[in-house]
């Protein structure tokens, strides 16, 4: 990702210093300078903050106000990345992503990696897998598959030892490095992401993916948020630089309320058939 130069010109010097430290910690691609800066892509001044806000929201607003767009560099011809998301929770995003992963893994000798960015994830074993995953996330060029567990449905998931999902805590640059390492390893035929809108670096990670799927709620009061997510992804797709891979944006509406699932959903049930049709549309598009 190309660097974004951000200047902080605030009358409260302590606030400017604290904000600069927080941004530098969370966003490696943002270069922060306190005071006027002629080279800055955007300058945050008094009145911009308006009140307390999470760091990710402040950076998102500065990026949007600057009009500058960012794109992670992907290796040409690398394995595709397919991401499922929605405008909010309870739509069945996770269910759709795991069903899609199971369908994609059914192909001959297909290796599919499924990654969730939900705040919580079920723990897996063994302990060594988590140790290797942490080394890889720190930048070590190690094979990724030993750091994963193969699900019964045939796809792989990264090892997790606690219910707190390590991927939810990652900044966008670390995710980019991780996915590029996964690509360069040639271990995977496809990578599938479950990216809830609550993930702090949603926009950056979604911009990396060739295939973006918005799961729509059947509830009318939630569809406005899904429309907003779809519109934002449409804008990101339009802003992709010349020479970048074409980004496919699709939507899916589960035929029934996903509810609470206690087991892997039936791939031949209504939701499974809907996702299978989606997979065929992606393959043929």
pLDDT tens string 142-201: 788 888 888 888 999 988 877 788 899 888 878 888 888 888 788 999 999 999 999 988
* Domain residue limits, the chain: 4-66, 81-284
Q: What is d(CA 43, CA 36) in angstroms, rounded to the nearest whole number?
A: 8
CATH number for the domain running over 81-284: 3.40.50.300
Predicted TM-score (pTM) of this structure: 0.75
Confidence category of residue 84, pLDDT binned at 50, 70, 90 = very high
In the structure encoding, which two tokens stand for residue 32, read together?
């922060």
Q: What is d(CA 211, CA 282) in angstroms, rounded to the nearest whole number?
A: 8
What residues have CB less than 8 Å from 283, skipping those under 6 apart?
A: none
Q: Give long-range contacts, CB 8 A cutoff, 24+ apart: 255-262.
A: 256/218, 257/218, 258/90, 258/91, 258/92, 258/95, 261/95
Q: Across residues 214-226, what is the average pLDDT?
A: 93
The model's pLDDT over 249-275, given as tens digits with 9 standing for 90+, comes to: 999 998 776 654 545 666 667 888 889
For residue 120, which phi and psi values (nearest 5 degrees)? -125, 145
Lay out the sheet containing 4-9: strands in order across: 30-34, 4-9, 42-45
For residue 249, which phi and psi values (nearest 5 degrees)? -120, 120
For residue 235, which phi and psi values (nearest 5 degrees)? -65, -40
Specify which residues 116 forms β-bridges with.
194
The model's pLDDT over 45-82, given as tens digits with 9 standing for 90+, comes to: 998 988 788 887 888 889 888 877 655 666 666 788 99
Does residue 11 have a pLDDT over 90? yes
Q: What is the mean pLDDT of the chain?
A: 84
């Amino acid at each position: 990702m190309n660097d974004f130069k951000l200047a902080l010109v605030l009358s409260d010097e302590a606030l400017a210093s604290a904000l600069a430290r927080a941004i530098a910690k969370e966003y490696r691609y943002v270069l922060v300078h306190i005071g006027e800066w002629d080279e800055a892509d955007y300058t945050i001044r008094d009145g911009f903050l308006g009140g307390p806000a999470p760091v990710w929201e402040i950076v998102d607003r500065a990026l949007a106000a600057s009009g500058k767009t960012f794109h992670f560099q992907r290796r040409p011809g690398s394995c595709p990345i397919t991401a499922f998301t929605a405008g909010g929770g309870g739509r069945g995003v996770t269910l759709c992503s795991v069903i899609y992963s199971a369908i994609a893994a059914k192909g001959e000798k297909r290796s599919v990696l499924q990654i969730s960015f939900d705040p919580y994830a079920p723990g897996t074993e063994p302990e060594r897998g988590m140790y290797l995953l942490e080394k890889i996330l720190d930048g070590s060029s190690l094979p990724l598959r030993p750091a994963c567990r193969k699900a019964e449905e045939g796809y792989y998931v990264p090892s997790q030892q606690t219910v707190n999902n390590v991927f939810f805590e990652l900044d966008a640059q670390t995710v980019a490095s991780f996915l590029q390492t996964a690509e360069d390893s040639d271990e995977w035929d496809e990578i599938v992401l479950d990216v809830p809108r609550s993930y702090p670096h949603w926009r950056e990670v979604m911009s990396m993916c060739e295939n973006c799927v918005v799961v729509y709620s059947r509830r009318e009061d939630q569809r406005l948020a899904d429309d907003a997510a779809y519109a934002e992804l449409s804008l990101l797709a339009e802003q992709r630089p010349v020479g970048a891979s074409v980004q496919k944006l699709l939507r899916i509406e589960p035929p029934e309320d996903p509810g609470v699932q206690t087991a892997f959903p039936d791939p031949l049930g209504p939701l499974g058939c809907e996702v299978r049709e989606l997979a065929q549309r992606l393959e043929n598009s």
